[in-house]
Structure 1
Amino acid sequence: MNSLNGVGNANMMKVAFEFIRNCESSLMLDIGAGTGRNARICKDMSYKGHIDGIDMNSKMLEVAKSKAVYRKLFRQPIHGDDPLSIEDCSYDVVTAASALLMNHLPARSIRQLVKVIRHGGILVFNSRSGLENRKYLEVLMGYADELITANVIKLEKKEVILYGGVGEGKIYAYVWVHRKI
């Protein structure tokens, strides 16, 4: 199981909507836009602002474009410390739905995601529990803690949602909301 699929994404956006400034001038960047599932969820939840998406897979971006929910789509790999081809402090919201996972985006890429958020804006992302993702989460939370200690972001909320499995095989989806200071 390499992604959280729509279950985790929809739950992530329910949490995010507690913090999103939902107005026509709001700008959201969908990291790892893929086929546009997260943007579609946002629009179905009555998000009024504009959504841009970024992904490295051109075929997936073609599918995303066909959903007519994005203002702009960017094709760019995210390698961690390489800056995004987006101006710093451009977005009110940056979402990374099922993108900050092992074998997806490097954990250190959280630093680049935060750079494109306006002061007072939010970063919302999800990831999952499970043995295969445990080390990745430790590294990711280490980078987040560095940004918190440096007074770049503050944790607004962490939510734990049962994703699947039974007994000791339960898998949880974690949702984090950070605000850029």
Structure 2
Amino acid sequence: MMVSEVGSYWQERLSNMSETESKAWDTVGIVTYSNSRQQADELYSEWAQKYDSDLDTLKYETPQNLVTELLKYIDNTPSTKVLDVAAGTGKCGEVFKKLGFKGIMDAIEINGAMLEIAKRKSLYRNHTEMGVYPDKSIPIVDGLYDAAVCAGSFGPHHLAPGCVAPISHTLRQGGVTIFSCRATPQATEYRDLLENEIDKLEKAGMIARIEVKEMTHYAVKCRETGNSMMSKVYVYHRL
């Protein structure tokens, strides 16, 4: 399935949108509800050149929200190291730069086309093309980073709920991770699985909760929610 092949489900729900917004929602919808991780990767490759402009059209606020929150809990020094997981085109990196972050940022991203866009922005020290999986360690020295951020990638056929563990292993003791998941009815089943995984890590003494709250994901009103789309934002530190 190509991004341009949008079914009647989305056409009906986008009938009241502006043409620009409708086209952006077409793409977001078909990628979000892809049938497999492989298909999602193929769709992102097709979407890469328009990704930033489409998400700007929909007022994608999660990168701004997550980075702003994260900076409350970490030092802003030249030696502070942050890992951007599923970095995409570098939208979190752009926010870090805009907010005057002085530290080091590394990016990992499974999709080469998206990562190439991020490289052109000269935001990160390292750009690693790789996926994150529940049953595999991220090939990074355990405890290397002071923080990890993951914006909008916890969802079906994207990052599995069990990916919280390998991401947490990249953090030093006391290091902070912040990530998000859509707070929509359609995401309820996935979100429950994610929170079960988080509970397991808490009970195992690996991470502890700092804060969990809802924040705006897309500010533009969407037919899926009838209003702005929200995300649930999770902030934890490694024990």
TM over 0.5: yes
Give a deviation string over 1:129-163, Cα, whole Å, max 9, x none. 11221111111111111111111111101121244
Counterpart selection for 2:74 from 1, 7, 20: 20
Equivalent residue for 1:157? 211
**Cα offset for 1:102?**
2.2
Task: Name the count of aligned residue pairs.
Answer: 181
Judged with a 3 Å threshold, the aligned counterparts in structure 2 of structure 1 residues 33 and 162 are, in CA distance, closer, same or farther, namely closer
SS in 2 for 1:154: strand
For 2:59 and 2:187, locate their aligned partners in 1 and report how far apart those are by CA, in whole Å.
Answer: 16
Equivalent residue for 2:91? 37
Q: Which stretches in structure 1 are left out of the alignment for 5+ residues?
A: none
For 2:138 and 2:59, locate their aligned partners in 1 and report how far apart those are by CA, in whole Å.
Answer: 25
For 1:166 and 1:33, locate their aligned partners in 2 and report how far apart those are by CA, in whole Å.
Answer: 24
Equivalent residue for 1:103? 157
For 1:159 and 1:25, locate their aligned partners in 2 and report how far apart those are by CA, in whole Å.
Answer: 29
Letter in 2 for 1:20: I
Letter in 2 for 1:37: K
For 2:61 and 2:124, locate their aligned partners in 1 and report how far apart those are by CA, in whole Å.
Answer: 21
Judged with a 3 Å threshold, the aligned counterparts in structure 2 of structure 1 residues 74 and 45 are, in CA distance, closer, same or farther, namely same
Contact 1:5–1:98, Cα closer than 8 Å, also in 2:
no
Give a deviation string over 1:28-70, Cα, whole Å, max 9, x none. 0000011111111111111110000001111111111110010
Question: Looking at CA atoms only, which structure, 1 or 2, has the larger radius of gyration?
Answer: 2
Judged with a 3 Å threshold, the aligned counterparts in structure 2 of structure 1 residues 97 and 5 are, in CA distance, closer, same or farther, namely farther
Greater shift in the superposed pair: 71-80 or 47-56: 71-80
Higher strand share: 1
For 1:132 and 1:50, locate their aligned partners in 2 and report how far apart those are by CA, in whole Å.
Answer: 36
Aligned: 1:86 with 2:144? no
For 2:90 and 2:132, locate their aligned partners in 1 and report how far apart those are by CA, in whole Å.
Answer: 17
> RMSD of the TM alignment (CA)?
2.0
SS in 1 for 2:61: helix
Higher helix share: 2
Equivalent residue for 1:179? 237
For 2:190 and 2:125, locate their aligned partners in 1 and report how far apart those are by CA, in whole Å.
Answer: 32
Counterpart selection for 2:189 from 131, 135, 153: 135
Q: TM-score normalized by structure 1?
A: 0.92
Aligned: 1:68 with 2:68? no
For 2:112 and 2:99, locate their aligned partners in 1 and report how far apart those are by CA, in whole Å.
Answer: 26
For 1:10 and 1:101, locate their aligned partners in 2 and report how far apart those are by CA, in whole Å.
Answer: 19
For 2:145 and 2:213, locate their aligned partners in 1 and report how far apart those are by CA, in whole Å.
Answer: 23
Contact 1:9–1:126, Cα closer than 8 Å, also in 2:
no
Equivalent residue for 1:169? 226
